[in-house]
Amino acid sequence: MRALCGASDEGALPTAVGSMRSTGIFDGLAALGLSISEEQGGGSPMSAETLSYAIDEHDHLIRVDQGYYRFAEENGWNEAATSLGRSLWDYVAGHEMVKLQRLLVRRIRDGVGDVELPFRCDGPEVRREMDIRIVARPGGRVVLFSARLRAQEERDLPQRLLDPATPRSGEVLEMCGWCDRFKVDAEWIEVEEAARRLGLFNRSELPAVSHGICPDCNEMLLAA
């Protein structure tokens, strides 16, 4: 979820760098005290790269698994150790994204039960396609989030727009917090294309990134 990949300047977890190591989904779920159908963990040998976390009825993080800590560590996010007890929404960048995800969690609690959605969790050097499953625990207010890596591809060139360490100018570029595309000339495009169109390759400072949501993802989250 974006809480675990959203770049940077707004206090969310930094953009993911490197690759997630293996954590068994069932280990994670067991740690959360939750059970889930077998489809999520079985099957492909690639399915082991996961992280999970759970919130209570106040949307406070009550459990996180090893994948969560490992992911944070690999991405230099030092606040992970103090995540427990904090509001999940402190870690989701962008007001619109928080609003949409809160609505989604409410619908899941109120009877939708569970949803599974694709999202992107890109880093400067990798393009990552992931799925997140959000499940309300039967009879309770606890909601579990399990994210799983579906595909990962190295980029031809590192994309500094996605690197929190890159110096930023006063300009601001909007990024969709769900699919990681950037808004340029009213179009939502991949980071490589955005860098190309804006001629960012030789600049020492790049635009700052603000998190919004593109129309496609907005529609998907509202329909979930």
The answer to whether 217 contacts Zn ion (rule: CB under 5 A) is yes
Considering only 91, 145, 178, 182, the residue that binds Zn ion (CB under 5 A) is 178
Could you say whether residue 149 binds Zn ion (CB under 5 A)? no
Closest to Zn ion by CB, 12 vs 179, is 179
Minimum gap (Å) between residue 132 Cβ and Zn ion: 14
97 near Zn ion, rule: CB under 5 A = no
* Residue 4 sits in the site that holds Zn ion (CB under 5 A): no
Dihedral pair phi/psi, residue 166, rounded to 5°: -70, 130
Under the binding rule (CB under 5 A), the answer on residue 176 touching Zn ion is yes
Beta carbon of residue 151, minimum distance to Zn ion (angstroms, whole number): 17
Q: How many residues bind Zn ion (CB under 5 A)?
A: 5
Burial of 78 (0-12, 13-18, 19+ CB in 10 A): exposed
Given the complex with Zn ion, which of 56 and 190 has the nearer CB atom?
190
Q: How far is the CB of 16 from Zn ion (least distance, A)?
A: 17
Contacts (Cβ under 8 Å, ≥6 apart) of 193: 184
Q: Which residues contact 56 (CB under 8 A, 6 or more apart)?
A: 62, 141, 142
The three state secondary structure string of 37-101 is CHHHCCCCHHHHCEEEEEECCCCEEEEECHHHHHHHHHCCCHHHHHCCCCEHHHHCCCHHHHHHH
Give the binding range for Zn ion (CB under 5 A) out of 25-33, 106-114, 121-129, 173-181.
173-181
Binding mask 12-41 for Zn ion (x = CB under 5 A): ------------------------------
- Is residue 179 within the footprint of Zn ion (CB under 5 A)? yes
Taking CA 71 as the corner, what is the angle to CA 126 and CA 194, rounded to the nearest 5 degrees? Answer: 30
Q: How far apart are CA 147 and CA 28, in angstroms?
A: 11
62 binds Zn ion (CB under 5 A): no
Q: Residue 165 has which token pair? A: 């360490």
Q: Are the C-beta atoms of 17 and 75 separated by less than 8 Å?
A: yes
Which of 20, 130, 175, 214 forms a contact with Zn ion (CB under 5 A)?
Answer: 214
121 binds Zn ion (CB under 5 A): no
175 near Zn ion, judged by CB under 5 A? no
Do residues 207 and 174 lie in contact, with contact meaning Cβ atoms separated by under 8 Å?
A: no
Binding residues vs Zn ion (CB under 5 A): 176, 178-179, 214, 217
